[in-house]
């Protein structure tokens, strides 16, 4: 049986709930419907902001995966469908290069009928995540010039109020004038990281959705169950010069979610030896 036929039998023509209120369906639905053959439904009564906001006025419910799972499970309870997909973004300093911005997008699919859960992800430093304390509207205009405004929206705030989704010079000036009337003059401006206001982020939500699909299309070599994915990466690729082990990956270990079958696949990067520059002996 071909992979597409397996996937069609697994998901085809079923209704899938997409847990979003930020227009993520624009990039997610076409991929999900084409490759999984599901019919995507976005519930209008779902408020995903109750599980956390980037503006920090609502704390995220758990870590990134837990928040996505809360969204998906709530969407299932609202609709009664047996498939739910939810996305959750994470922004902050890069874990290895802390002065560089970092975005990790996670897409979770839960299939209640088949007791199936799988995660797609994308990670990038291509993000306009920025914030700045400002004193006047000129500071705000200079900030906007650096973050892709007005295609990318901004938020103006003080300690008590957030004005979100600003996408024009007029809206920016009106927001600043409104905050000027407040007793709290501690102003700041930041990028609006909600998906429908951030085309850069939307691109990586799409990439994470594709990664989810790629994992689903990876079938177990023993039972043909979807989601045969990497659970361990083994280091030790041999140096071409001296033959000693290097820190580079020599094999990926795959495990089936259903039957538990494990399989080791050598040379996942296509290289059978490491260059001496990656060897701690040849290049200490």
Looking at the predicted structure, is the pLDDT value of residue 206 above 80?
yes
Residue 1 pLDDT: 66
State the fold for domain 3-127+198-216. Answer: Maf protein (3.90.950)
Q: Any idea where the domains of the chain sit in the sequence? A: 3-127+198-216, 131-192, 229-278
Confidence of residue 263 (pLDDT cuts 50, 70, 90): very high
pTM: 0.90
Average pLDDT of 135-148?
95
Give Cα separations from 163 to 58, 167, 216 (angstroms): 15, 11, 40
250 cis-preceded (ω within 30 degrees of 0): no
- CATH for 131-192, among 3.30.1490, 1.25.40, 3.30.2310, 2.60.40? 3.30.1490
Residue 64 has pLDDT above 70, yes or no: yes
| Beta carbons within 10 angstroms of residue 111's beta carbon | 21
State the pLDDT confidence band at 88, using cuts at 50, 70 and 90.
very high
**Lowest mean pLDDT: which of 176-190, 197-211, 257-271?**
176-190
Tell me the range of 58-62, 130-134, 180-184 where mean pLDDT is highest: 130-134
Single out the residue of 140, 138, 76, 77 nearest to residue 111, CA to CA: 76
Query: Residues 102-107: contacts with CB within 8 Å, 24+ apart?
Result: 102/127, 103/127, 103/129, 103/201, 103/204, 104/64, 105/201, 105/204, 105/205, 105/207, 105/208, 106/64, 106/65, 106/68, 106/208, 107/28, 107/68, 107/205, 107/208, 107/209, 107/211, 107/212
* Mean pLDDT, residues 149-163 taken together: 94
């Amino acid at each position: 049986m071909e992979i597409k036929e397996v996937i069609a039998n697994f998901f085809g023509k079923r209704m899938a709930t997409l847990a979003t209120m930020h227009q993520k369906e624009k990039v997610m639905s076409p991929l999900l419907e084409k490759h999984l053959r599901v019919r995507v439904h976005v519930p209008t009564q779902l408020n995903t902001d109750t599980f956390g906001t980037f503006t920090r006025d609502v704390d995220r419910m758990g870590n990134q995966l837990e928040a996505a799972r809360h969204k998906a499970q709530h969407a299932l309870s609202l609709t009664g469908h047996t498939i739910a997909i939810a996305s959750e973004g994470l922004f902050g300093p890069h874990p290895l290069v802390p002065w560089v911005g970092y975005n990790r997008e996670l897409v979770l699919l839960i299939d209640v009928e088949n007791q199936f859960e799988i995660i797609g992800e994308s990670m990038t430093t291509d993000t306009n995540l920025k914030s700045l304390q400002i004193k006047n509207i000129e500071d705000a205009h200079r900030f906007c010039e650096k973050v892709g405004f007005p295609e990318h929206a901004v938020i103006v705030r003080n300690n008590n109020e957030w004005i979100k989704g600003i996408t024009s010079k007029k809206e920016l000036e009106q927001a600043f004038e409104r905050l000027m009337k407040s007793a709290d003059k501690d102003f700041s401006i930041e990028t609006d990281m909600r998906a429908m206001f951030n085309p850069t982020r939307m691109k990586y939500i799409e990439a994470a959705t594709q990664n989810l699909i790629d994992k689903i299309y990876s079938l177990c070599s023993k039972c043909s169950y979807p989601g045969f994915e990497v659970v361990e990466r083994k280091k030790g690729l041999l140096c071409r010069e001296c033959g000693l082990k290097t820190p580079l990956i020599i094999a990926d270990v795959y495990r089936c979610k259903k039957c538990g079958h494990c399989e080791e696949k050598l040379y996942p990067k296509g290289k059978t030896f490491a260059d001496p520059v990656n060897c701690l002996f040849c290049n200490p």
